[in-house]
Amino acid sequence: MNSTQVRVTVPEGIDAGLITGPQDSLIRALEKRARAEITVRGATISIMGPARCCEALVKLFEHLFELAAFGDAPNVEDSVRLLDSLLKRGGDASGMAQDVILTYRGKCIRPKTVGQKRYIEAIRSHAMTFCIGPAGTGKTYLAMAMAIAALQRHDVGRIVLTRPVVEAGENLGFLPGTLEDKVDPYVRPLFDALLDMMDSERASQLVERGVIEIAPLAYMRGRTLNDAFVVLDEAQNTTPEQMKMFLTRLGFNSTFVITGDASQRDLIGRPDGLSHIQDILGDLDQISFIHLDSADVVRHSLVGRIVEAYDSYEQKRAAGGGRHGKGSVHGRAHQ
């Protein structure tokens, strides 16, 4: 395979040590992942390898320069993850470092992969966005950050966070307590994500005042949600009837974000409202569909490899004649 050589220059005022990492750890990790040779001489970074890898590395370094200019030291895991995304999808990482969605306690929340960047841009430019992808890709987390940022800017007057209540092997009726006590474990992950981005006292006040509402999907029936940022999480567990009911709650000056993972359905033996939604609504203006995959996983790097292993296993089963695919409890991760 023919090799290409390119050079990039570290901008003046940026410490090259931030880009290379302690004992060149970042450079070594990028070399291993891209199968390219990277040499640093002063402010010049030379890259030699396959053209596609060199192109992705140049885009990555430009992103790292932006991060360093904002005073953020690039870390190895985030950098390798973004490189994976650039190698898999292509695209452009420019502007990602500047795209701060929310700042909380000095921590900046921004997209970390090309897919996440597309997701954020879709939310900003569409009334309704569907984001479908495996666990750990930031579907709910980024939607939550966008919702809180919109509330802080007074773009909307309230946030509505909802999930379908589906029994995943447990029987809701046998859980102790009142109906509210029984439902709480289903919506608790949304409240936990909220506390990741907002002081607990402030969050509790907003919930008590109804500015932030966290409720099961069934509570949405018969309502019109105006002036609101609305997030439907775990949409793969909605029925087609529930999905239609929810989508028709859209009111004026509202943004709807619907997230789901097709590989983690709990509707055993029943159709869900997410599987064919793009076939139904794909041609409508103001609706966007974003598909994330293992390259967008922002948890431990092993999570991405687990997702890839499951995808590979499902593909092999399908190629083998679908002996086990028909009637399977879980569908493939990416339809």
Domain-terminating residue out of 89, 122, 138: 89
Asked, for residue 94, whether it belongs to a domain, the answer is no
Q: Are 55 and 153 in a shared domain?
A: no
- Name the pTM for this structure: 0.80
**In which domain, by residue range, is 162 found?**
104-319
Asked whether residue 247 carries a pLDDT value surpassing 60, the answer given is yes
How far CA 100 is from CA of 107, 149, 267, 332, in Å, comes to 10, 10, 37, 33
CATH number assigned to the domain comprising residue 212? 3.40.50.300
Question: Could you tell me the strand order of the sheet in which 4-9 lies?
Answer: 4-9, 44-49, 37-41
Asked, for residue 123, whether it belongs to a domain, the answer is yes
- Collapsed DSSP state (helix, strand, coil) of residue 80: helix
Torsion, Cα 83 86 88 89, to 10 degrees, reads 160
* The predicted structure's pLDDT at residue 312: 81
CA 327 to centroid of chain Cα atoms = 29
Structure tokens of 195?
Answer: 């506390």
Structure tokens of 276?
Answer: 């064919």
Which residue type sits at 41?
R
Q: Are 33 and 82 in a shared domain?
A: yes
User: Cα 75–81–83 angle (5° rounding)?
Assistant: 100
Structure tokens of 114?
Answer: 């090309």
Where b means 16+ CB within 10 Å and e means fewer, 65-98 reads: bbbbeeeeebebebbbbbbbbbbbeeeebeebbe
CATH number assigned to the domain comprising residue 62? 3.30.1370.10
Q: Are 212 and 285 in a shared domain?
A: yes
Where residue 330 falls among pLDDT bands split at 50, 70, 90?
Answer: very low
pLDDT tens digit sequence for 10-69: 999 888 888 888 888 999 999 988 888 999 998 899 999 999 899 999 999 999 998 888
Q: Are 49 and 136 in a shared domain?
A: no
Which runs of consecutive H residues, i.e. helices, occur in 35-178? 51-69, 76-89, 114-125, 139-152
Asked, for residue 234, whether it belongs to a domain, the answer is yes
Q: Are 71 and 158 in a shared domain?
A: no
User: Helix 25-34 to helix 76-89 angle, to the nearest 10 degrees?
Assistant: 20
Q: Are 137 and 267 in a shared domain?
A: yes
Domain-terminating residue out of 45, 61, 89: 89
Distance CA 276, CA 265 (A): 14
- Collapsed DSSP state (helix, strand, coil) of residue 259: strand
Distance CA 176, CA 167 (A): 15
Match 């995943």 to its residue by tokens. 168
Q: Are 223 and 315 in a shared domain?
A: yes
Q: Could you tell me which residues come within 8 angstroms of residue 167 by beta carbon, excluding any fewer than 6 positions away? A: 266
pLDDT tens digit sequence for 127-175: 999 999 998 899 999 999 999 999 999 999 999 999 987 644 344 454 4
Q: Are 169 and 142 in a shared domain?
A: yes
Q: Could you tell me which residues come within 8 angstroms of residue 99 by beta carbon, excluding any fewer than 6 positions away? A: 110, 111, 117, 120
Which residues does residue 107 pair with via DSSP β-bridges, in sequence order? 104
Q: What share of the chain in percent tops pLDDT 90?
A: 48
Q: What share of the chain in percent tops pLDDT 70?
A: 88
Where residue 321 falls among pLDDT bands split at 50, 70, 90?
Answer: low
Asked, for residue 328, whether it belongs to a domain, the answer is no
Instruction: Work out whether the CA dihedral 150, 92, 286, 288 comes out positive or negative.
Output: negative
pLDDT mean over 74-97: 84
pLDDT mean over 291-300: 83
Asked, for residue 15, whether it belongs to a domain, the answer is yes
pLDDT mean over 105-116: 87
Q: Are 184 and 285 in a shared domain?
A: yes
Asked, for residue 335, whether it belongs to a domain, the answer is no
Number of domains in the chain: 2
Asked, for residue 331, whether it belongs to a domain, the answer is no
Asked, for residue 95, whether it belongs to a domain, the answer is no
Q: Are 123 and 269 in a shared domain?
A: yes
Closest of 196, 190, 191 to residue 102, by C-alpha: 196
Q: Are 141 and 51 in a shared domain?
A: no
Q: Are 263 and 162 in a shared domain?
A: yes
